[in-house]
Amino acid sequence: MKKFWKNISTYVVVALVSIGATYGMYSFMDHQKGYSTADTYNYGNEFNQKGVHLASLTADGYPDFTKAAESSVHAVVHIKSTVKAQSSQGRPRMMDPFEYFFGFGDRGGQDYRQPQPSVGFGSGVIISEDGFIITNNHVIDKADEIEVTLNDNSKYTAKLVGTDPLTDIALLKVEGKGLPYIPFGNSDNLKVGEWVLAVGNPFNLTSTVTAGIVSAKGRGRISAGGRNGVDMSIQSYIQTDAAINRGNSGGALVNTNGELVGINTAIYSQTGDFSGYGFAVPISIAGKVVADIKEYGTVQRAVLGVQIGEVSVAKEADPEKTKNLKINEGAYVGGFADMSPAKQAGIEEGDVITAINGVKVRTVSELQEQVNRFRPGDKVKVDVMRGTTSKTFDVTLKNNAGSTSVVKKEDGIASVGAAFKDLTAEKKKSLGISYGVEVAGVDNAGKFHKEGIMKGFIIQKINNQPVSSASDVERIITTTANSQDKALFVTGITPNGSKKYYAVDLSE
């Protein structure tokens, strides 16, 4: 079993099932004790949700799915995301060897075939009467247009409020009033074996409901190639045997009370279709993410600043160093990050973290899920086992930059201080290239000017991603500015044809 889960990334097919960490809302401070208690906050209040409790048993005492299904299908929407076709003259392609040797066609490698837009489909969940919708990031990734269709066939154009690729969660907004929505449940209270429903639009079949049980909770990191090869990772999944297929991405996982407990995201399959297990992002994670996006524009991630691993792995790797450990559960501290709040509080290498604020943690993924319930600046109690001795430490959590400040959404375009324009066919031909974007202007106070990138420079790649339009450049810069690794590696050519490389630090 251990080997099976260790190698699961080989077989997981992310439910990019559109064609083609962080719990539970903001923590309130317990002012009497000074410690954050995230579980006391009803994060559904951010979206003005009202609680609901449906009859979940029949008169004979059997599970009743009808009420939960009926209330859910009206709040689960079909999402159509369209990526506009780029000019064929700006799109690189593989050159036909006959063109190379015999001179057929255009030597510059341009493709004059009529480009077609890329269209993907998926699902989303309305979470407020005024039209906030939660879905998967990969459903709307790079979309220029997002169309939402409700169960009654009414259509809306959706605005992208924000995304979090790390958890594969996105928040959309449509203009509406009195829309049906699914209130947040408590995914922490889910039990293995409990009945759940998956609601979505598999294979473009609208309003589809499937039933299953919770097969496992807290499944660790699952990775797979996302759309365009983007890696998707998350710290904790709900595993279910309710059928989830392509098109279910971003749809609802609900309990028999009609409450939203997860966002369907991935499937375990060797074929790409359902054949055993599906995975959902717990609402304890997804709810925090969208609430952060709504209020701050970006996710607030608190960190302990520890390098952690499973206890069993640590014992196998270094038996001598761990010989005094008498427990097999928890998160083994193997080292510390710079300015680590855990280290500052007194936690040492070799300690095993066993609980956060009294909530037991048995694995690395459970520790990550607990910590990610909080914001930078929150105080938590951390229980550790040091050899045979139990200790408790008071830790003030920080952000990745080592401070307790709220992280604001960065305006990457303003930071670089540059404008961009698409290359003309004549320009590409004169330079002997088939793709690239021209720097149309540079602000002397911007980071591009500081690093020596001047007007007229032709950008061909940023962070090893080819760019063919100004929107490509702006998207990559904006995404990088709001990621943990705020570095741009720019490759291109000067107006006279010389190859140049630049590194731009967006964190300063």
Catalytic residues: 138, 168, 249
Q: Are strands 145-149 and 76-83 parallel, antiparallel or unpaired?
A: antiparallel
Please say whether the beta carbons of 335 and 342 come within 8 A: no
User: How far apart are the C-alpha atoms of 279 and 71, rounded to whole Å?
Assistant: 22
Q: Which two tokens stand for residue 392?
A: 């408790």
User: How far apart are the C-alpha atoms of 50 and 183, rounded to whole Å?
Assistant: 7
The secondary structure of 164-191 as a DSSP string is ETTTTEEEEE---SS-----B--GGG--
* Residue whose token pair is 């690093």: 451
Q: Which two tokens stand for residue 410?
A: 């960065």
Rg (CA), the chain: 25
Closest CA to 196 of 152, 156, 243: 243
Largest CA distance in the chain: 81
Please say whether the beta carbons of 148 and 174 come within 8 A: yes
Q: Please, what's the b/e burial string for 23-37 (b: 16 or more CB within 10 A of its CB; e: otherwise)?
A: bbbbbeeeeeeebbb
**Under 8 Å CB-to-CB from 103, ≥6 apart: which residues?**
none
Q: Which two tokens stand for residue 107?
A: 């030597």
First-to-last C-alpha distance (Å) of the chain: 46
- Residue 336 one-letter amino acid: F
